[in-house]
Amino acid sequence: MQSLPIVYHDHYSIIWPEKHRFPMTKFEMLYRYLLDQGIASPDQFHAPRIASDATLTRVHHTDYLDSFVQGTWAHKIQRRIGMPWYPDLVTRVRAEVGGTVKTTRLALEYGLACNTAGGTHHAYPDFGSGFCILNDLAVAARLALDEGRVNKVLIVDLDVHQGDGTAFIFKDEPRVFTFSMHGARNFPFRKQESDLDVGLPDGAGDDAFLAALHEHLPRLIHDQRPDLVIYDAGVDVHRDDRLGRLALTDEGLYARDRYVLEQTAAQGIATACVVGGGYSEDRNLLPQRHAALFRAAAEIFADLQAP
């Protein structure tokens, strides 16, 4: 029986040179955690291609991409992104975008797939922001449309931060519907207009979050009838996240992810998942939180495979 397809690339493990006190990225930690906990086996993992210039320039301006690749971007852009440039960063970021592209293709083939990275929703066509350099969600959606694989994409962004870059990129694209449910008072403080924005108050917990999700998601799926859902499952909505300001529990994260995937699976909609944000002083907690997505996805995928 086919198992849930999961995307991981060795370059996800590249860390900032200044951060050598951390031996692994959260992406590598998640990969190892999934294996160690028996949530996934080695044969489930797929390695993506590094995203090419031709793929990236479907969304990003050539001048911006060149400045990133060559390390010549303006200081104000680097400051807005919040991380230093170094040569290996280019490969890591391109691998991450390639990973989400691969995840969408696997989802369209098997019905559901997950990337162990991704969710860089603050990146705009000509600049990055908030630790996001290239917008993997937008590139993957655009490529799927351009290649004729799909006619309609629904982006479900449940990271605690609004997907402002994605909203801006697709503001005039009727084939992509952007839905962002996020902390109303959290970054970015100057928000873009998604096709549907649901801003939650500080301190909103499991009940409030899930009630809002139940109110909006089934209707969106019914009205939009997408061929593909790209789901950003950020865990920075957790009550102990240092940047989140919402209050979901571990159980709430799992319930959120399970609900999204149940809704899309019930309608036979291919769903590509990315992990999104997550920030904790105790980095060992992050893979546990992100693993909720993979547990829920593995269960839903098994149901899809059942005779």
Please give the positions annotated as active site.
Answer: 122
Strands (E) located in the chain? 6-7, 45-46, 112-115, 153-157, 176-183, 196-200, 228-232, 270-274
Alpha carbons 228 and 87: distance in angstroms, whole number: 34
CA distance readout (Å), 66 to 73, 79, 100, 156: 8, 18, 21, 30
At 260, the amino acid letter reads: V
**Backbone phi, then psi, for 278, in 5-degree steps?**
180, 125
Please give the angle made by the CA atoms of 136, 113 and 254, to the nearest 5 degrees.
95
Reading the block at residue 83, the tokens are 């991380």
For the chain, the distance separating the N- and C-terminal CA atoms, rounded to the nearest angstrom, is 11
CA-to-CA distance for 93 and 131, rounded, in angstroms?
Answer: 11
Residue 27, Ramachandran bin (φ over 0: left; ψ between -120 and 50: alpha; else beta): alpha
Give the CA count within 13 Å in the CB-facing half-sphere of 255. 16
